[in-house]
Amino acid sequence: SAAEKKKQAQEEAEEELFVGLDDTPGNDNM
């Protein structure tokens, strides 16, 4: 559904944000 796609896209965007903020070695294996 469109709502599911939107939710998934938002979660992926948040993941990229976390990776960008927490850019320390050893923390990119979550």
Q: How far is the C-alpha of 27 from the C-alpha of 4, rounded, in Å? A: 28
Residue 24 confidence (pLDDT)? 64
pTM here is: 0.49
**Who's near 19: CB < 8 A, 6+ residues apart?**
28
Residue 5 confidence (pLDDT)? 95
1-30 pLDDT, tens per residue? Answer: 999 999 999 988 888 777 666 666 665 555
